[in-house]
Every structure is written in structure tokens, then in C-alpha cells.
């Protein structure tokens, strides 16, 4: 780098320079920044590597230059205006082993289906976990429950160095991995292992995150220990230990708490907590409905057995007890009447889950890859609930008291086999993937119900009483096998053709029995008429063809498939039997255009089948809820889904701004919908299922992230809209429910390194409902949310607050809560490198935390209020352990 300066009469100067590589060639597009007490300037080198800063006020400044693939250059200058001075610096290529001050210069790189974030470009507090780093990344949101969204889509799995960590569980990775061991974070549109191998994008993608660990942090040990006690008998304890030795990794995690914390979700992030943005600087306490007591344990192991075989996987266990008190208001609208139900309930539920996930990978040769992935799991639930409700239908009313107990046992076994082979001819490939599942679901319900029915249509109201005691037994078994085969043949070095085959077979058997003692005067136990054993098979075979073209900027794929489908259902004594056969034409197309290294555009069309649910197709009248009888339809046909999506992503290297947008449209032929019937002279209704046309939905999302002052002030503006034309039948009359949900949000984060974090967030949401049946209720509802959070540091002390306000408008009086939530804590760090922290935390200081939901489904308006964990105080200790080579 060569620097010269010119002083003018206003006591300012021009600073000019040249950036070169180790061969003395000028580098174009280098990010050059000049910072002083009076200046903060940014420019880029031209094609010859030259740059100029004009009217620089200070003779003392810090100058840095950065470019992807080169080490960051950073130095301090004190120039003498009376002397000519030149400094020559060569930018060295990026090393494989990175020192902590040597980082990739560009914060965001966009390549095909991947957005890569350079972790070093996003500063977090010392000792922060991965979750805090994710909150800093443009396009990524983390809510209180720990769920992660990237570009508006939920992240389903997390990998570490390209391998699933704890089976891909999101929360386990984000709340246990330290941020300072991360080199980069990749957000990937994953189309599955077969598509990743063949390069053919034939199915819809899922959002996953891959965490790349710094080279010098792949050997060492790290972990943490947290313990806390609080008012109202609150407690919290968790521990994690990780040992990394390149490809050999061992992690052990455990947690117990009754603070509704989800430190370890193991794929079960539960609760409907409010979403929060950067203002939510304290996320250890959650917003789950009810009060939870959670115990969790798990381990993850990875090792290379030899040069060609590796293994990885783990075991996880969770046990959760939940106690919830709530109330529900359900309004069911029909053409000539409205059924309204108000219910108060208490429930206690305990569920446990064991899961063993393992993988064996073999690269027997440079051309052949084989993977076996067995999974075993066992899930159990025991629940007790009691409720009282009043149901009104014009002049009819029912007062209902219900006590129930249920037990559920669900074993499950899966195995996945993948074989990939590359032939000697360049580009010729073969892949086969076989997935098989065997599962069971045994459910037992005991119901004791008392009902008082009142008919007020006469001068002297008529009253009748009923008692219903039921034992419901449901035993379901499922077998599924899914085979995917693909053969790819190159035409030339830019284009390929693929022949593919897909087989899907589902066998579902169900035994349903209801034992009833009948009314108050009956004491005999008898088998109800709903006793039935029913079997159901769905089978499809698809043969497809795809053509794909790729060059440096453009990629497109066009293809089609023919899919014969067969649905067979029958009772085991064969008195009811159905057999449906049909053929679908399944087209597909994808176009992707790489505008530059930081921007791309893609358009995708996909068609696919969706078979009926077992509960929708079995011809059994379900009496478990006597107020809403449900009966399946064995004549249902499978749905066919057409989906078109557009995605645009852009990162501006000069300004540091990012823009993401997604658009999608979906149309479903033979959509399976409900038909709700109000039963005559009662407060009951019956639900059945049928196929219809006319359903569609459209979704849009955008995010614009502005870096106003690098690492100091950032603004995120985002919006989303969902419009659906949902079809339902009310008393056999068709209704189109047109639902619009629109959200606009903005958040501002302000960070001064080492001492201050501030975040301000606001959002507006519109829920609009319009119906074609005049008897249905149209509705407009609005929700405003505001949040302000901050954290300040002084030496070994930290103070944090987080306040949020929710304002609801247009909802019924049942949902009148506009809660204000305030969390605060003060924290003291001690030990070397601040490895220990002592915290005093106050949660929900105004004691207004309440779970409120509002949903419109068909002809139902469903509103709930549930208790949540209220005000309490917690004192906690946290110890972090880190031991890496050459670490001080």
C-alpha cells in the first residue's frame, strides 16, 4: 500500500494509496476504511488498486483494508504534513489456520443455495453463545423459545463442520456452542443428500445452518455450568462438556429446571412465546403456556474409525411436566345459527422421549459413498384434565363438566440407506436412497362427562341430564418405505440429463374401540357401535426425466414425471372397501441466475401429491369429543399441489446493506377440506371430509438490512404477507374464507464496542377475514408490538433490561390483554477472562405475562387465554470452561 497526502488551506488533506498483492499487482474492489477522532471514511480501490480519501481532517488515523481471500490489513498512522511519506504494504493471501485477528474481510457471501456469514465481522460480547451471534446476522431472527428463522423460513436443522450436531437439533447447538469458536455460518437451502450429490433440485428445500469451527478451535475442550435458585421455588441447573479433537468429538449435555427454559430442546422447541428481535438481550427465560418442569440429558459422538469409515450420532432424553390453567371461547358460525362455547380448564401433562440417532459413512473408494442411518425413539404421554363449559345454540344450551385421562405410547424405528457412485466418465452418477419406517401409536382415553341440556323454546324450559363414561382404545401401526433412484448422464461439460424413479408405500392399520356405560341409569359395560378395525394403503410410483444446464451465471432445470397412484382402504372383515387408481403428470422447472458474487435470483416450480391423513379417511365416527363428532371419508382422493416460488438475495459490498425477498404461490387440486354440520335440536356438530377445488395461497417476505455505521448502528426493515383462499363447507354449503395476514416490522440496534448494546423493535400485524357466505363473520384485527432492550458494561459489571408492550385491537373482549413485560438483570464477572458470572434477575416485573391466541379456521373463531410463568426473581452462577492449544 502506497500512501501520499496533500494539505489544503482548510487544514485538511487528501490521502491517496495503492493496494497490491504479493506479486505487486494492484487489487481491485478492496474495502479501505479510514477512522480517526474526526473522520470515519470508507472507499474502494479502482481497477488498478488505487484509492483516494479527500478532506481528511486528522493527521492521526487508523487505516484498514480487506478483501475476500486475503488477510485483513490494519495499522495506525501519524503523518507529518511537512514531509512526503510513503508506506508500502502487501496484502497476503488468507491462511488456512487463522489467528484471531486474521479474518475474512467480506461479512456476507452469496453462492447458489448458500448465504455465508463471516463470524468475525459481527461482534458479540466476550463469552456469548452462538444464539447471540445469530441475532446479529442480517436476515436471521431468533425468538424467545429459541426457534431460528432465516429469510422468513424456520431453520429445521443445525450442522457443525458439515455433520448433524445432536441429530441436527437447533436449540442444542445455539445455546451451547460458544460464539468465539465459530469461523463462519452458512444458511443453506438444503434439497436432501441425493440432490446435493446429483446437483438436481427436484423437491422443496428446507433451511439448515452449518457452523464452521475455527481451525485452531477444532482441538480442545469447552463447556459451561449454570445453577440458580429463585422465588416461588424456581430452580435452574444445566451443564455441558465438549471435547473436540479434529474429527473426534464428544459432547455431553444435561439440564433440570422449572423456569420454562428450553436450554436443550432435542428437536422439541415448544411453547408459543412472543417473537423478539435484537432488543431481546436476555433469552434464558421462555414464554411457554403453563408452568413446565423439564429434565433433559444427551450425548453426541463423532469419530473416524479409519480412513474410509466414520460414525456419528447420539442419544437424547427429555422429560417434561406441564401444568396449565386456561379458558377458551369457540364460536362456530352456521347459516341459520351460531354455536358458542365458553370453557375453563385445568390440565396436567407429563411426556417423556428417548431417541437414539446414529450414522455410519463409508467412502470405500474415491467414487463410492455409502451411508446407513438407523434411528430408534420412544415417546410416552400421560395427561389429566378437567373442564367446565357452557354451549349455547339459540334457545338450546348445554352445561358440561368433563374429566379425562389419557395415556399415549409411541415407539418408532427408522433406517435410511444411501448409495452414491461416480463413474469413470466425468459427470456420470448414480444414487439410490431407501428410507423405511415402522411405528406404533397406542392411545387410551378415559372420559367421564356430565351434561345438563336445557331447551328454552317453551314457557317452562325443559331440562335433561346425561352422564357419559367412556373408555376409548386406539391402536395404530404404520409401515412406510420410500425409494428414490437417480441416474445422471452428462451431455457436455455444461448440461446433464437425469432419469429418476420414486416409489412410496404407506400401510396404516388402526383398531378403534369405545366402551361405554351409557347414561346415569346404566351400569353395564358394552362395546359401542364405533368398534372397527380398518386398514389403509397408499402407493405411488413415479418415473421422471430432467434436463439441467449450468454455466458460470445461469442454471436451469426442466423435467416431468408420470405418477400412477393407488389408494386402498378396507375394514378387516371387508364389509367396507375402497380402491382408487389414477395417474398424475408432475412437471418441474427451476431457473437460477447469478448476478454477481453477492447477488442471485431463482424461480422454481414444483408439483407433488399429498395423500389423505389416516384420521380423514377411516370410516369411524370418533366420539372422544361428544360435542364435535368426527367421521372419516374412505372415498377421499389425494391432493395435487402446484407451487411456484421466487427468491432474490443481494449483499452490497460498498454499503454493507443486504436485501432478501421471497414470493410463492400455491394451488391445490382436490384439496381435502372439512364439512361442518350443526346437528338438529342440539348444541353438537359433526365434522366430515371431502375433496374440492378453489384453494390457493400466496406468500411474500422481504428484509432490508442497512449498516448505517459499521458495527455501531444497524437498521432492519422487514415485512411479510400471507393471503389464502381457504375452502370449507358449512352444512354442505361451500364457503371461501379469504384470509390476509400482513406484518410490517422495523428494528434498530446500536452498539458501542465493549460497553453498550441497545435495541428498539416495533411491528404491526393485520389479520383480515372475508367470507363468501353472508352468514359468516368478517373481521379486521390489529396488533402493535413495541420493544426496547439494552445492555451496558462497566469493567466486570453488566446491567440489562428488556421491556415490551403488546396492543391488541379488533379482537373480542375475551382477548383484551395488552401485556407489558419487563425483565432486568445485573451481572458481575469474575475469574480469569471473565469465566465466571454471578447474576440477579427479575422476570416479568409487572406480572402481566399471559398466553393469548386468536385463530380463524373454517367456520370456527377460536380464542384462548392460558396462564404463563409470572413474576419471580432468580440468582444464578455460571462458569465457562475453555481449553484450546496456544490459548492464554
Give the C-alpha separation, 649 to 636, whole Å.
41
Q: What is the mean pLDDT of residues 227-256?
A: 91
> Does residue 558 surpass a pLDDT of 90?
yes
Decide: helix, strand or coil at residue 122: coil
Instruction: Please count the other Cβ atoms lying within 10 Å of the Cβ belonging to residue 96.
Output: 6
Find where cell 401485556 sits.
819
Q: What is the mean pLDDT of residues 104-127?
A: 77
Q: What is the mean pLDDT of residues 649-673?
A: 87
DSSP 275: P
Listed in order, strand segments (DSSP E) in 456-553 are 462-490, 495-518, 526-527, 532-550
Which of 40-44, 517-521, 706-710, 876-880 has the weakest average pLDDT? 517-521
* Of the candidates 707, 606, 720, 716, the residue with the CA atom closest to the CA atom of residue 661: 720
Strand partners, 523: none
DSSP states of 318-379: EEEEEEEEEEEEEEEE-SS-EEEEEEEEEEEEEEEEEEEEEEEEE-SSSSEEEEEEEEEEEE
pLDDT tens for each residue of 697-734: 999 999 998 877 655 788 889 999 999 999 999 999 99
Listed in order, strand segments (DSSP E) in 597-638 are 599-610, 621-622, 628-631
The answer to whether the beta carbons of residues 842 and 811 sit under 8 Å apart is no
Give me the pLDDT at residue 271, please: 27
**β-strands 338-362, 309-333: how paired?**
antiparallel
> Does residue 519 surpass a pLDDT of 60?
no
The whole-angstrom distance between residue 538's C-alpha and the CA centroid of its chain comes to 29
pLDDT band at 39 (very low <50, low <70, confident <90, very high): confident
Largest Cα separation within the chain, whole Å, is 110
Which pTM was predicted?
0.77
pLDDT tens for each residue of 769-812: 999 988 888 888 889 999 999 989 888 899 999 999 988 887 77
> Does residue 886 surpass a pLDDT of 80?
no
Give me the pLDDT at residue 644, please: 95
Residue 754 gets the label, from left (phi > 0), alpha (psi -120 to 50) or beta, of: left
- CB half-sphere exposure, 451, CA atoms < 13 A: 22
> Does residue 768 surpass a pLDDT of 80?
yes
Give the C-alpha separation, 633 to 616, whole Å.
6
pLDDT band at 131 (very low <50, low <70, confident <90, very high): confident
* Of the candidates 410, 434, 416, 523, the residue with the CA atom closest to the CA atom of residue 485: 434
Q: What is the mean pLDDT of residues 232-261?
A: 90
Tell me the C-alpha to C-alpha distance, in Å, between residue 647 and each of 551, 656, 667, 699, 866: 19, 20, 18, 12, 38
pLDDT band at 589 (very low <50, low <70, confident <90, very high): very high
Give the C-alpha separation, 287 to 271, whole Å.
7
Find where cell 456420470 sits.
428
User: Which helix (H) or strand (E) segment is 564 a member of?
Assistant: strand 554-571
Give the C-alpha separation, 784 to 808, whole Å.
7
The long-range contacts involving 232-235, CB below 8 angstroms and separated by at least 24 positions, are 232/872, 233/258, 234/258, 234/259, 234/872, 234/874, 235/259
pLDDT band at 815 (very low <50, low <70, confident <90, very high): low
Q: What is the mean pLDDT of residues 294-304?
A: 91
Average pLDDT of the residues of the chain: 83
* Of the candidates 422, 443, 30, the residue with the CA atom closest to the CA atom of residue 199: 422
User: Rounded to the nearest 5°, which phi and psi values hold at 829?
Assistant: -100, 145
Give the C-alpha separation, 580 to 564, whole Å.
11
Give me the pLDDT at residue 523, please: 47
* Of the candidates 284, 394, 342, the residue with the CA atom closest to the CA atom of residue 843: 284
The whole-angstrom distance between residue 231's C-alpha and the CA centroid of its chain comes to 33
Find where cell 450429490 sits.
197
**β-strands 836-843, 820-830: how paired?**
antiparallel
CB-count exposure of residue 143 (10 Å: 0-12, 13-18, 19+): buried
Give the C-alpha separation, 784 to 806, whole Å.
6
Give the C-alpha separation, 770 to 779, whole Å.
7
> Does residue 767 surpass a pLDDT of 80?
yes
The whole-angstrom distance between residue 516's C-alpha and the CA centroid of its chain comes to 42
Listed in order, strand segments (DSSP E) in 611-712 are 621-622, 628-631, 639-651, 658-669, 671-678, 685-692, 695-709
pLDDT band at 525 (very low <50, low <70, confident <90, very high): very low
With a CB cutoff of 8 Å and minimum separation 6, the contacts of 170 are 146, 147, 148, 155, 156, 157, 158, 209, 265, 267, 269
Give the C-alpha separation, 269 to 295, whole Å.
14
Q: Which residues of 285-304 are buried (b: 16+ CB within 10 A; e: fewer)?
A: bbbbbbbbbbbbbbbbebee
Q: What is the mean pLDDT of residues 570-598?
A: 82
Which of 5-19, 250-264, 621-635 has the weakest average pLDDT? 5-19
> Does residue 285 surpass a pLDDT of 50?
no
**β-strands 153-160, 206-213: how paired?**
parallel
Q: What is the mean pLDDT of residues 531-549?
A: 87
Percent of the chain past pLDDT 90, that is, above it, reads: 36
Give the C-alpha separation, 269 to 283, whole Å.
14
Decide: helix, strand or coil at residue 181: helix
Q: What is the mean pLDDT of residues 815-838?
A: 87
Give me the pLDDT at residue 237, please: 92
> Does residue 264 surpass a pLDDT of 70?
no
**Three-state SS annotation for 211-269:** EEECHHHCEEEEEEEEEEEEHHHCEEEEEEEEEEECCEEEEEEEEEECCCCCCCCCCCC
Give me the pLDDT at residue 89, please: 65
pLDDT band at 503 (very low <50, low <70, confident <90, very high): very high
> Does residue 498 surpass a pLDDT of 60?
yes
pLDDT tens for each residue of 177-188: 888 889 889 998
pLDDT band at 38 (very low <50, low <70, confident <90, very high): confident
Which of 47-56, 213-222, 512-521 has the weakest average pLDDT? 512-521
> Does residue 612 surpass a pLDDT of 90?
no
User: Rounded to the nearest 5°, which phi and psi values hold at 832?
Assistant: -65, 135
User: Which helix (H) or strand (E) segment is 853 a member of?
Assistant: strand 850-857
User: Which helix (H) or strand (E) segment is 437 a member of?
Assistant: strand 429-455
Percent of the chain past pLDDT 70, that is, above it, reads: 89
DSSP states of 53-83: EEEE--SEEEEEEE-TTBPPEEEEEE--TTS
* Cα torsion through 359, 364, 369, 370, rounded to 10: -40
Q: What is the mean pLDDT of residues 311-321?
A: 92
Give me the pLDDT at residue 574, please: 59
Which of 16-30, 299-313, 369-383, 631-645 has the largest mean confidence? 369-383
Amino acid at each position: 500500500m502506497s500512501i501520499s497526502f496533500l494539505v489544503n488551506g482548510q487544514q485538511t488533506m487528501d490521502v491517496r494509496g495503492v493496494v497490491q498483492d504479493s506479486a505487486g499487482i494492484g487489487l481491485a474492489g478492496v474495502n479501505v476504511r479510514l477512522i480517526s477522532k474526526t473522520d470515519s471514511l470508507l472507499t474502494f480501490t479502482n481497477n488498478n488498486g488505487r484509492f483516494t480519501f479527500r478532506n481528511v481532517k486528522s493527521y492521526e488515523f487508523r487505516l484498514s483494508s480487506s478483501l475476500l481471500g486475503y488477510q485483513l490489513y490494519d495499522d495506525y498512522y501519524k503523518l507529518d504534513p511537512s514531509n512526503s511519506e510513503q508506506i508500502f504494504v502487501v496484502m497476503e493471501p488468507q491462511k488456512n489456520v487463522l489467528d484471531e485477528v486474521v479474518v475474512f474481510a467480506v461479512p456476507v457471501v452469496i453462492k447458489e443455495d448458500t448465504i455465508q456469514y463471516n463470524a468475525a465481522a459481527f461482534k458479540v460480547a466476550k463469552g456469548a453463545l452462538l444464539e447471540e451471534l445469530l441475532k446479529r446476522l442480517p436476515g436471521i431472527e431468533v425468538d424467545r423459545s429459541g426457534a431460528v428463522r432465516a429469510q422468513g423460513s424456520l431453520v429445521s436443522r443445525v450442522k457443525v463442520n458439515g455433520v448433524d450436531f445432536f441429530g441436527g437439533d437447533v436449540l442444542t447447538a445455539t445455546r451451547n456452542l460458544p460464539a468465539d469458536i465459530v469461523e463462519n455460518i452458512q444458511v443453506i437451502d438444503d434439497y436432501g443428500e441425493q440432490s446435493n450429490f446429483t446437483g438436481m433440485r427436484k423437491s422443496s428445500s428446507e433451511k439448515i445452518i452449518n457452523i464452521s469451527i475455527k481451525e485452531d478451535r477444532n482441538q480442545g475442550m469447552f463447556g459451561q455450568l449454570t445453577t440458580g435458585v429463585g422465588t416461588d421455588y424456581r430452580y435452574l441447573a444445566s451443564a455441558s462438556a465438549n471435547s473436540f479433537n479434529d474429527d473426534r468429538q464428544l459432547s455431553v449435555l444435561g439440564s433440570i429446571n422449572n423456569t420454562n427454559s428450553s436450554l436443550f430442546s432435542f428437536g422439541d422447541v415448544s411453547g408459543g412465546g412472543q417473537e423478539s428481535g435484537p432488543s431481546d438481550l436476555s433469552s434464558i427465560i421462555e414464554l411457554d403456556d403453563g408452568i413446565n418442569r423439564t429434565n433433559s440429558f444427551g450425548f453426541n459422538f463423532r469419530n473416524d474409525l479409519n480412513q474410509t469409515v466414520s460414525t456419528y450420532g447420539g442419544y437424547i432424553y427429555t422429560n417434561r411436566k406441564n401444568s396449565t390453567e386456561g379458558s377458551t371461547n369457540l364460536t362456530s358460525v352456521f347459516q341459520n345459527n351460531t354455536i358458542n362455547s365458553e370453557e375453563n380448564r385445568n390440565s396436567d401433562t407429563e411426556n417423556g422421549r428417548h431417541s437414539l440417532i446414529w450414522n455410519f459413512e463409508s467412502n470405500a473408494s474415491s467414487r463410492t459413498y455409502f451411508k446407513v442411518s438407523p434411528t430408534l425413539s420412544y415417546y410416552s404421554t400421560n395427561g389429566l384434565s378437567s373442564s367446565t363449559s357452557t354451549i349455547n345454540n339459540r334457545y338450546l344450551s348445554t352445561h358440561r363438566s368433563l374429566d379425562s385421562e389419557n395415556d399415549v405410547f409411541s415407539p418408532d424405528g427408522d433406517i435410511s440407506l444411501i448409495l452414491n457412485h461416480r463413474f469413470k466418465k466425468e459427470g456420470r452418477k448414480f444414487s439410490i436412497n431407501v428410507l423405511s419406517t415402522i411405528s406404533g401409536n397406542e392411545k387410551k382415553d378415559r372420559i367421564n362427562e356430565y351434561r345438563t341440556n336445557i331447551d328454552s323454546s317453551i314457557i317452562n324450559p325443559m331440562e335433561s341430564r346425561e352422564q357419559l363414561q367412556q373408555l376409548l382404545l386406539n391402536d395404530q401401526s404404520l409401515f412406510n418405505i420410500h425409494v428414490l433412484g437417480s441416474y445422471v448422464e452428462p451431455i457436455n461439460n455444461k448440461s446433464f440429463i437425469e432419469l429418476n424413479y420414486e416409489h412410496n408405500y404407506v400401510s396404516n392399520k388402526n383398531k378403534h374401540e369405545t366402551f361405554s356405560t351409557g347414561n346415569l341409569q346404566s351400569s353395564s359395560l358394552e362395546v359401542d357401535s364405533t368398534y372397527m378395525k380398518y386398514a389403509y394403503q397408499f402407493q405411488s410410483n413415479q418415473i421422471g426425466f430432467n434436463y439441467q444446464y449450468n454455466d458460470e451465471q445461469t442454471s436451469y432445470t426442466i423435467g416431468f414425471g408420470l405418477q400412477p397412484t393407488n389408494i386402498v382402504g378396507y375394514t378387516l372383515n371387508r364389509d367396507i372397501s375402497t380402491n382408487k387408481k389414477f395417474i398424475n403428470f408432475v412437471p418441474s422447472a427451476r431457473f437460477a441466475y447469478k448476478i454477481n458474487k453477492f447477488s442471485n435470483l431463482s424461480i422454481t416450480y414444483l408439483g407433488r401429491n399429498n395423500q389423505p391423513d389416516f384420521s380423514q379417511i377411516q370410516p369411524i365416527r370418533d366420539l372422544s369429543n361428544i360435542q364435535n363428532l368426527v367421521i372419516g371419508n374412505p372415498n377421499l382422493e389425494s391432493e395435487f399441489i402446484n407451487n411456484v416460488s421466487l427468491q432474490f438475495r443481494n449483499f452490497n459490498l460498498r454499503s454493507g446493506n443486504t436485501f432478501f425477498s421471497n414470493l410463492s404461490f400455491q394451488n391445490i387440486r382436490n384439496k381435502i377440506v372439512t364439512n361442518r354440520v350443526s346437528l338438529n335440536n342440539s348444541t353438537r356438530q359433526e365434522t366430515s371430509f371431502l375433496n374440492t377445488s378453489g384453494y390457493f395461497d400466496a406468500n411474500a417476505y422481504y428484509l432490508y438490512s442497512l449498516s448505517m455505521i459499521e458495527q455501531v448502528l444497524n437498521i432492519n426493515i422487514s415485512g411479510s404477507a400471507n393471503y389464502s383462499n381457504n375452502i370449507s363447507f358449512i352444512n354442505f354449503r361451500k364457503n371461501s374464507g379469504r384470509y390476509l395476514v400482513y406484518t410490517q416490522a422495523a428494528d434498530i440496534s446500536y452498539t458501542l464496542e465493549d460497553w453498550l448494546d441497545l435495541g428498539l423493535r416495533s411491528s404491526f400485524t393485520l389479520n383480515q377475514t372475508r367470507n363468501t357466505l353472508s352468514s359468516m363473520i368478517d373481521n379486521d384485527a390489529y396488533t402493535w408490538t413495541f420493544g426496547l432492550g439494552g445492555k451496558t458494561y462497566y469493567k466486570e459489571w453488566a446491567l440489562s433490561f428488556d421491556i415490551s408492550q403488546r396492543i391488541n385491537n379488533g379482537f373480542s373482549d375475551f382477548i383484551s390483554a395488552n401485556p407489558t413485560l419487563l425483565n432486568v438483570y445485573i451481572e458481575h464477572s469474575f475469574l480469569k477472562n471473565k469465566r465466571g458470572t454471578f447474576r440477579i434477575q427479575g422476570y416479568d416485573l409487572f406480572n402481566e405475562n399471559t398466553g393469548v391466541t386468536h385463530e380463524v379456521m373454517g367456520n370456527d373463531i377460536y380464542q384462548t387465554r392460558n396462564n404463563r410463568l409470572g413474576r419471580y426473581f432468580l440468582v444464578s452462577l455460571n462458569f465457562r470452561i475453555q481449553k484450546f492449544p496456544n490459548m492464554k
